[in-house]
Amino acid sequence: MPGDYNGNGIWCIAEIRHGALVPTIYELLTAGRGLATALGQPLCAVVIGGPGKASQAATAVAPRGADKVYVVEHAALDAFLDEAYGAALKGLIEKERPAKVLFSASAAGRSLAARVSVLCGGGLASDVTEVSVNGDKHLQALRPVYAGNLISQVSVRRGPEMATVRPMAYSRSEAAGKTGEVVPHAVDPSAWNLRSKVLGFTPEESKEIDLSSAERIVSGGRGLGNPKGFELIRELAHSLGAAVGASRAAVDSGWIPYRHQVGLTGRTVRPRLYVACGISGQIQHLAGMSSSDFIVAINSDPEAPLMKIANLAVEGDLYQIIPAVIAEIQKQRGEAGTPAAAAH
């Protein structure tokens, strides 16, 4: 029955991906702190992983705003497997009874949250961009629906109330000046009924900087005119140590793979520098990048929406401006060379 569950504490579930802590936990801690303050409840992180890995990650998480960090560590949890992680988390939730549980809306987080919500009987709001509590102290969330054309407000009424939070929807928590208490939680995998196992992991062979965690991004749009325009974008990105992004128009034109798309139906990014080249700045694109610290727009149309919100709006033909910028960077660094002129 909704309302029968009396939990205490806001939990944020950390993710360890191939041995490394994913920094989205710090975004969850920012989101969770708002709920914890509103409810007057403790904010806790949960780190699940293989021997040594979870406890190492917990030492990184503990100073970043959590009052308590639960560590669930076992060889059976070395690689992410939602059946195993779900069983481990269910045991911890049944023992400690948190009020709200936040996961990252990553591939692993989405899978784990759905499983845990069924195992524990709690309601789940998926892929949300904002969390709060309503007058009844239930979890309330904003989530884009119909491919982002509408934003719906949902309320989760069955505890433990859960949500998956879209990466980059919140800023990352900083060191809080105090270190949360680290609490180990032992598990016994012999009781788990696992029907799958991880055989191995083959990383994608790409030297590109990952878009979602990039500090600098150079993006290209329809204004490039053709797929070869991305050679120039890549060259500018390379000289800035930046990742390559794109508008949906460029992706839909087949100029660059979908994994580069920024926006409502692509990635949400929050870099320190975002350079938009030949992108008009429709609302769906802005939804994915407008939280960037410093935005540079290069566009021949001074009335383009992105030119209006940019910190630096450069009016002109990108095929003249970008090579000049690259040449200047090379000059400043004392490097020889002429920027490759992309076919126009």
Instruction: Tell me which residues touch ligand FAD (CB under 6 A).
Output: 147-149, 221-223, 247-250, 261-266, 278-280, 282, 284-285, 288, 298-301, 304, 317-319
Q: Is the dihedral of CA 23, 25, 31, 33 positive or negative?
A: negative
Distance in Å, CB of 270 to ligand FAD, minimum: 15
170 DSSP 8-state letter: S
Task: Starting at the earlier edge strand, list the strands of the sheet with 312-315.
Answer: 243-246, 216-220, 273-277, 294-299, 312-315
CA distances, 328 to each of 38, 248, 298 (Å): 50, 30, 16
> Closest CB to ligand FAD belongs to which residue?
263
Q: Smaller CB distance to ligand FAD: residue 8 or 320? A: 320
Strand partners of residue 183: 70
Distance in Å, CB of 259 to ligand FAD, minimum: 12
Chain-centroid distance, C-alpha 21? 13
Q: Smaller CB distance to ligand FAD: residue 87 or 246? A: 246
CA distances, 203 to each of 17, 29, 54, 82, 207 (Å): 12, 28, 21, 19, 11
Task: Tell me phi and psi for residue 183, to 5 degrees.
Answer: -120, 110
Distance in Å, CB of 263 to ligand FAD, minimum: 2
Q: Smaller CB distance to ligand FAD: residue 155 or 300? A: 300
Q: Smaller CB distance to ligand FAD: residue 173 or 299? A: 299
Q: Smaller CB distance to ligand FAD: residue 160 or 221? A: 221
Judge whether 145 and 264 are in contact, CB under 8 Å.
no
Distance in Å, CB of 206 to ligand FAD, minimum: 21
Distance in Å, CB of 39 to ligand FAD, minimum: 34
